[in-house]
Chain A
């Protein structure tokens, strides 16, 4: 870890001003990924702005009947929030599928979106990595890539976004509220994270001088038919090989609306509204689920060790949709 200076910000405006004034400054909130990466010299801010005292911790209803998650609400407070548990159980389950009790008590919702990939090479400064050091090359494409992406990859990077929460947010069409020097703006979750392209070092469309203030959940929570399925190499405390956030709105045995987002397969939560629409007004059959799964994985490309993810993701989509469907039968 390199030397850095530290300051506590008193309000959002001051935080934005401070970060705008210093290109080498970073915000710190939960710190669970930033300090992790600073210790191994992957991230090297020279100044940290502690934003944990900003008034961004509340979870409250919005005027349009949705729910606003303060960016500094912890993952634990969000997952266990009564409104979230009741109206957005998909989100609650996704958060609880990630990390551990301890980490969820520290990590914030805003920080969760901004966590970096867990690619082996990104984490090892003695190896080439375009995300860490643009232009140095990608070690993963021809190296060990079991955990890495099969969709939306580029010749420069095949990293995945590691968040579980973001996958559920993608399925729920959340909106990210941010504040910058020029005021506030709202970024739909689908446009928040980027594909690697030839700029894999830029994870998201959040500008360096902007701060996330809240995450807005639309009114529709799919609380009757949902599943967050996470497949990984051990039963807990591991990142996803493949995860699926699945939600259905049913009318009898006909699907009115389906939402599907995949995690562990791309540089961002992978959602294809056009493919989801194939299920609208269709019967909820295994064949139809398989059809949409095939559509989701169209164009998927394996890099050797992660080839299996293509078939695994298809099967996971089918299973997750089945589970989401069968939920109400049980209750």
Chain B
């Protein structure tokens, strides 16, 4: 103890089910889901903005729920259905929330955007946002430094209306 035995951890086979596809990787346990996506699968749509759950740029959907992919290990997500920003458009047609982000100009630099979009979809799935204040609070886990919040809220309102009318 205290004496660092300098070994790199052994890799093992990790099977991830991402955007409807099975991917098998050789990973050490210390690889986060976020790094697995970005550095091992070239799914760079999921962003790293802090690596500590303080910004929300890395938000993905796991079994339909939004989570911070930076704060979980890839090895822990093996039996789950993972959806990233790359998995939202179907046959070239954007998910309505993606289209709404464009139409409302709900971004500027675009870096937090994939996380925002996954977060909106997760929020709609949760079904707990009943008011404008709820939306603002429940979207507060996604920091947008460009400050597009007013437009993001519009996207969420629209998405909630769409889900209610279904």
Contacts and interface: CB of A to CB of B under 8 A. Distances in A.
Interface of A: 1-6, 23-24, 28, 30-32, 35-36, 39-40, 48, 50, 52, 76, 80, 99-103, 105-106, 235-237
A106 B71 contact: yes
Contact of B137 (A1, A80, A236): A236
B53 A28 contact: no
Contacts of B10: 5
B163 interface: no
A287 B59 CA distance: 47
B8 A101 contact: no
B73 A35 contact: yes
Contacts of B66: 101-102, 105
Contact of B29 (A6, A52, A103): A6
Interface in B106-164: 119, 122-123, 126, 128, 136-143
B119 A3 contact: no
Contacts of B139: 101
B53 to A, nearest CB: 6
Contacts of A35: 32, 70-73
Nearest to B76: A50
Interface string B31-71: 01000000000000000000111001001000001111011
A5 B9 contact: yes
Nearest to B78: A8
Contacts of A36: 52-53, 71
Contacts of B119: 101-102
Most buried by B among A28, A76, A103, A235: A103
Nearest to B123: A101
Interface in B1-48: 1, 4, 6-10, 28-30, 32
Interface residues of B, number: 39
B73 A100 contact: no
Query: Chain A: interface secondary structure?
Result: loop
B30 A3 contact: yes
B73 A103 contact: no
B141 A103 contact: yes
Contact of A6 (B53, B75, B123): B75
Contacts of B136: 235-236
B122 A101 contact: yes
Contact of A28 (B67, B76, B141): B76
Contact of A52 (B7, B65, B76): B76
16 contacts: A3-B9, A3-B28, A3-B30, A6-B29, A28-B76, A32-B71, A35-B72, A40-B52, A48-B73, A50-B76, A76-B126, A100-B56, A101-B66, A102-B53, A102-B56, A106-B68
Contact of B51 (A39, A48, A101, A236): A39
B75 A101 contact: no
A3 B141 CA distance: 30
A106 B71 CA distance: 9
A31 B6 CA distance: 24
Contacts of A5: 9-10, 29
Given A100-B140, A101-B123, A4 B29 contact: yes
A15 B82 CA distance: 27
